[in-house]
Every structure is written in C-alpha cells, then in structure tokens.
Chains A and B, each alone.
Chain A
Amino acid sequence: MKYRDTIGMAVRAIARNKVRSFLTALGIIIGVASIIAIVQIGEATTRNVTDQISSIGSNLIMVQVGRARRGRGSAPPFTVKDYEALKKEVSQIHVAPSANTRATLVYGNLNHDAQVTGTTNDYLQIRNREVVAGRDFSDEELAAGAPVCILGQTVIDTIFGRDDPLGKVLRINQIACQVIGILDPKGNSMGSDEDDIVLMPLRAVQRRLLGTRDITMIYVSVLAGSDTKQAKNEIEKLLRQRRSPAADGYDDFTVQDMQEIVDTLAGVTNALTALLGIIAAVSLLVGGIGIMNIMLVSVTERTREIGLRLAIGARAADVLTQFLIEAIVVSCMGGFLGIMLGLLGSWAATHAMGMPFVFSPNVALIGFSFSAAIGVIFGYLPARKAAKLNPIEALRHE
C-alpha cells in the first residue's frame, strides 16, 4: 500500500472525530505555543538590549579613572598628554577626550541643570551622534576653546521651548555661550536620557568651567574590522606605562569595552529563556502523554475497525503505520497551530512592551520537529497495541 493512501486514511480518521482530535492536539498546541512565545520574547529582549547598546556603539571602549590608591575618592584624572599619547600610539582607533561637569544653563527666565561635556568632534563619531541642525565645532573653536555649544533635544525643549536655539546665546555658569548645533534625539538608553546633554570644545570646558587641564574620561572606538580586545590590551599597556600600577598590581584606571556589557546582559537573558523553555518543554511532554492516552482509548474503541482492516488484508505493519501516522499528523497539526499561536502571542507581547518583533524560522522549525517527534514517540505504544490485535478477537469485540 502507498504512503500517500496511508496518510489520506489517517487524515480521514482524524476528520471523522474533529472535536476529539482537537482535544488530543491541545496539549501539543499549548506546549509548542509556549515554547515559541518564550523563545521569541527572549530573543526580542536580547535584540532590544543589543540594539540599545549598539546604538551607543558596540565597539566602544570607555577609559575611566579608578579608585584612589590611598584614602578615599578617585585617582587623579587623565591629562591632555594621556589623550594625545593614546591618539598617537594606539592604531586602528578613534579617541575622544571628555571633560565633564554639571552646570546651570540659563536662557531668558528659564534655567536647567545639565551635564556639560568638553570634547572634540571625534565624540560625535564615537558615540554615534549626529548634528542634525547647525554644525559641529570648527578647528579654530577647538584650538581656542571658544564659548560655543551643541545642545541635546531635552535641553532645547526645557529652556528654549518653541524658539529656534540656533545662533542664540545662553549662559552656562555665567559664561555666555552661542548655540551652533543641535544633536539628533536618541531618547532613553539603559535608564538615562541621552538628550540631556551639552557639548562644548574640550578647552572651553577646561578653561572656562573647570579651570583645570583635566580629562574626566576618554572614549575610544575601534575601527570596524579591528579587534576590540587587542585595542583594549594596547590601551591598558600604554596607560600602565604612563600611570604605573600600585605595588599590589592594581591599576588606578578602568578600560571597559561595551562588548563585555552586551555579553553579560545577553547571558542573563539566555539563561532566563532557557529556564522558561525547559518549563515549556515539560508542558510539551505532558501534551505528548495526552496524545498517548487518547490514542490508547481510540485503539480500544476502534478494535472492530482494526479487526476488519486485518480481515480484509491489512498486515500488522499496515495497522501500525496507520496509527503512527495518525498520531504524527495530529501532533504536527497541533505543532502548526501552536507555532501560529506562539508567534501571535509573542508578537502581541513584544508589541505591548515596545520591543522589536523578530521572527526566527529556526524556532518554528524546532517547534515543528519537536511535535513530530512527540507524535512518533507517544504514538508508537498505541499503534503497536493496535497492530498486535488478534483479528478474530478484534472482530468479536463489542
């Protein structure tokens, strides 16, 4: 007999008992749906975190001062010479110095406290920021430490309202400062407002606001295609030469690369997804046992039918195949419905949480093959029971 006919026979047997077949498949539907939904939501969360971080720049390295060797507080800040050394001696990187301070901005009768960062145009490139209106700093402004600034959207909204800020003069800690550019709005990232920011030339902040030649931190981005780890090692080596480590071997600075942070966060989400996935897999197992249960009942109920099939010339193997295929078809249909339901559920969930929905065909494929495997494993016992029936007794069964 032909496989196409066996499948057709199984499909007709399932169609003869639609409600029961649906209830049989329900366990599989729920199991597959929850696995799909959990893995999809987990993946969306990972993607969301990764997206946020790569918007910061996944090839970003942050060089900060560490704890002081003696007493409390921070170690001494970096100097302009440290920055220049990095720029000169480490290849394949962009470097931006950053002298940070908080300052009060005043325009008209409104004021606002914001983070003021003294830096160079490299900062824009390294942090993936763009000047969407106006311009960035000119070489003369950078060299002279001219009182000019580029504003983030939050600052503009707070003190300029609807006025066009370009060309206006505001006061930053009493220093008159002209607005030359506006940054692209980025929104919140990992809990902080990326738009509550004022950029000025490094020298302007150092001379006019801090009164020192300190550099608070240094941003480094590694050129595409270069090894971040290697760049990180080179930076550490160079800074150790310039700021010799303590006797106990501890550096008084930290070099952190964003990839480390990405890995940590992705590790946490993956572990959580795996855990929930295991719980969902248990429900799939329970669904499989449900299939076995109902198939066993069905074999008993259809004993006469099996007897008839054996009498008209079905071999034991034919009956085995038929019942096995019935189980597989039921669980595959359950798997298909489960995938649909799981995708729908995860789409709704990611939509509600404002995360990107990413369809991963692998997950659907795994869910489908899982349900087919469940059909084979849990369909085998009932199918064997059917095939082992004695035709005479089966025909006499009431």
Chain B
Amino acid sequence: MISAPVTPDESALSPMLDLESIYKIYGSGNTQVRALEDVNLRIYPGEFISIIGPSGSGKSTLMNMLGCLDVPTAGAYRFWGTEIGKLDSDQLALIRRNYIGFIFQSFNLLGRTQAIENVELPLIYKGVGRAQRRARALRALDAVGLAARATHTPAELSGGQQQRVAIARALVTEPSLLLADEPTGNLDTATTIEILELLRRLNREENRTIVMVTHEPEVAAFTDRVLEFRDGKLERDGTPEDVLS
C-alpha cells in the first residue's frame, strides 16, 4: 500500500532543517572559492528531496553541511533548532550518530566483514549491547529485503545488494534524516530503479526524511521536491515537474 505523498504544511510544522543565508567559503583573497552563497532552505520531516546541479555547483558541499560533517562560514544552520555552527567536532559526531544516516555512491562497506556486522557498526558507537545490536541490524536488513544474506560479505553480494546493506546501515539507528550522495551512481538502470523504489517506500511507508544528491534528472524525478544548484546558489526549488521541465 502506498500512502499519499507527505505535503509539508509550512504553517503547521516546524522545520527539521533550517538554513538561513548560508555561506561556505574556501581559501582567501584572490583564490577565494564561494562553494555556497546565500542559501536559504527549510526541510520538513517526511520530505523526499533531490539536489541536482553540475559538478562544482555546491551540491556536495551542501550535502556535507546538512550531514553535519562541515560547518558554514557564515549564516545559521539549525538542526531541530540546534545551531550547528556553534558545535565542536565531538558534538557534531554525536548529532551524526543519533540523527543522521549516510548512504554513499561507493557503498563504503567494510570488506571481509559480514553484512550484519556492517549494519551493526553505527550501533557499536551508540553503545548498544551486542544482543540488541544483532536484533536491530537484522530488522534493518529485513526492511531492505536482505535478511537472508546477513552473513554474506560484500564480495559475495551484487552492487545493488551492497547498496541495500549500506541503506540498512543508515537506517539501523532510526535517524531523523537519511542523506544519500549519488546512491545510484555506481549501479545499472534496473538496479537503480530497485534502489530508488526502496528509498521511496522508506519515505512513503516509514515516513523517513530523505535528501539525495544526483546529477541524473531521471533519478531526481523519483522525488517530491527538487533543489537545483548552480555556482553555489540555490537556483530553483520546486516539484520535479517544475524544476526538471
């Protein structure tokens, strides 16, 4: 059963992510690079968003900032109301640990390590006990349809299966926000659709908030809201029909 897409009602809901006039500037003087320039953005719980734009448009920088891997040079980024720019690296790690799940283009699974152990990894840092870790990792693998492959190592899995293990790893901590950086960049068309449908199902059925970076319009078309970046600026923000046409 597919429920209706969640449409954010700006007046009723408080935003999960609130970016106010964000700048990210590398270097200084003549070699200064403005990776992000005056970005204003609000993301609400339950949204399924894609970020598109050419290389160097600032979409990866924004992704790192949303994921609390990086802090803005200027402007305010609030995560559930917490000002991220004022946190030190340990506090940022705690935000990532508790509220954010990452999905990467190259999966980043530990080699020669069983799928279930890969999925357990974030729970180890959260200090979850061994038995509960196992149970939660199995549930997450089941959610991506890979419970039967729990003891396989990445080398024994196909690309699509590896990415699904990585998605299970991102889901296992029940994060508020799933960040996917070109999740289908290394996959063929059939597998790409498989992964995108999995992400859409997680969004629709489990109400997960997902932000995905991609450079393929067909991939962006799977989402509900598209943000287009160009030269560090947020150029367009709207439904796939509006932005991609």
- Asked if B240 is an interface residue, CB under 8 A from chain A, the answer is no
A391 cross-chain contacts in B, Cβ below 8 A: 69
Binary CB contact string for chain B from 68 to 100 against chain A (1 if under 8 A, 0 otherwise): 011000000000000000000110011011100
B108 cross-chain contacts in A, Cβ below 8 A: 304-305, 307-308, 395
B122 cross-chain contacts in A, Cβ below 8 A: 312-313
- Asked if B111 is an interface residue, CB under 8 A from chain A, the answer is yes
- Asked if B113 is an interface residue, CB under 8 A from chain A, the answer is yes
Q: In the complex, how many residues of chain B place their beta carbon closer than 8 angstroms to a beta carbon of chain A?
A: 30
A391 to B89, CA, bound (A): 11
A12 to B64, CA, bound (A): 30
A16 partner, pick from B96, B111, B125, beta carbons under 8 A: B111
Which of A141-149, A170-178, A315-323 is the interface stretch? A315-323
- Asked if B102 is an interface residue, CB under 8 A from chain A, the answer is yes
A310 to B67, CA, bound (A): 11
Distance from B211 Cβ to chain A, minimum over Cβ atoms (Å): 15
Binary CB contact string for chain B from 22 to 41 against chain A (1 if under 8 A, 0 otherwise): 00000000000000000000
The answer to whether B93 and A310 touch across the interface, beta carbons within 8 angstroms, is yes
B169 cross-chain contacts in A, Cβ below 8 A: 312
Distance from B41 Cβ to chain A, minimum over Cβ atoms (Å): 20
B102 cross-chain contacts in A, Cβ below 8 A: 308, 311-312
Query: Chain B residue with minimal CB distance to A310?
Result: B93
- Asked if B236 is an interface residue, CB under 8 A from chain A, the answer is no
Binary CB contact string for chain A from 298 to 312 against chain B (1 if under 8 A, 0 otherwise): 000000110111111
- Asked if A110 is an interface residue, CB under 8 A from chain B, the answer is no
- Asked if B48 is an interface residue, CB under 8 A from chain A, the answer is no
B125 partner, pick from A1, A304, A307, A316, beta carbons under 8 A: A1
Distance from A3 Cβ to chain B, minimum over Cβ atoms (Å): 11
- Asked if A9 is an interface residue, CB under 8 A from chain B, the answer is yes
The A/B interface has a contact count, at CB < 8 Å, of 67
A16 cross-chain contacts in B, Cβ below 8 A: 110-113
Q: In the complex, how many residues of chain A place their beta carbon closer than 8 angstroms to a beta carbon of chain B?
A: 23
A395 to B96, CA, bound (A): 15
Known: A305-B110, A395-B104, A395-B108. A313 touches B96 (CB 8 A): yes
The answer to whether B96 and A311 touch across the interface, beta carbons within 8 angstroms, is yes
The answer to whether B113 and A313 touch across the interface, beta carbons within 8 angstroms, is no
B97 cross-chain contacts in A, Cβ below 8 A: 312-314
A16 to B110, CA, bound (A): 10
A313 to B128, CA, bound (A): 13
The answer to whether A311 and B69 touch across the interface, beta carbons within 8 angstroms, is yes
Known: A16-B111, A308-B108. A313 touches B69 (CB 8 A): no
The answer to whether B125 and A312 touch across the interface, beta carbons within 8 angstroms, is yes
A312 to B169, CA, bound (A): 9
The answer to whether A316 and B89 touch across the interface, beta carbons within 8 angstroms, is yes
B173 cross-chain contacts in A, Cβ below 8 A: 313
B69 cross-chain contacts in A, Cβ below 8 A: 310-311, 391-392
- Asked if A2 is an interface residue, CB under 8 A from chain B, the answer is yes
Distance from A393 Cβ to chain B, minimum over Cβ atoms (Å): 10
- Asked if B124 is an interface residue, CB under 8 A from chain A, the answer is yes
The answer to whether A1 and B124 touch across the interface, beta carbons within 8 angstroms, is yes
A392 to B90, CA, bound (A): 15
A317 cross-chain contacts in B, Cβ below 8 A: 90
B94 cross-chain contacts in A, Cβ below 8 A: 313, 315
Known: A391-B69, A392-B70. A314 touches B64 (CB 8 A): no
- Asked if A164 is an interface residue, CB under 8 A from chain B, the answer is no
Distance from A324 Cβ to chain B, minimum over Cβ atoms (Å): 16
The answer to whether A1 and B90 touch across the interface, beta carbons within 8 angstroms, is no
A312 to B96, CA, bound (A): 6
The answer to whether A314 and B127 touch across the interface, beta carbons within 8 angstroms, is no
- Asked if B126 is an interface residue, CB under 8 A from chain A, the answer is yes
Distance from A63 Cβ to chain B, minimum over Cβ atoms (Å): 75
- Asked if B121 is an interface residue, CB under 8 A from chain A, the answer is yes
Known: A1-B127, A309-B121. A314 touches B112 (CB 8 A): no
Best-buried of B67, B101, B110, B113 by chain A (most CB within 10 Å): B110
| 22 A-B pairs (CB sep. < 8 Å) | A1-B125, A5-B130, A16-B110, A16-B112, A304-B106, A305-B110, A308-B108, A309-B125, A310-B93, A311-B96, A311-B102, A312-B101, A312-B125, A313-B93, A315-B89, A315-B94, A316-B90, A316-B93, A317-B90, A392-B69, A395-B104, A395-B108
Additional pairs, 5, CB under 8 Å, beyond known A1-B127, A16-B111, A315-B93 = A305-B110, A308-B102, A308-B104, A311-B96, A317-B90
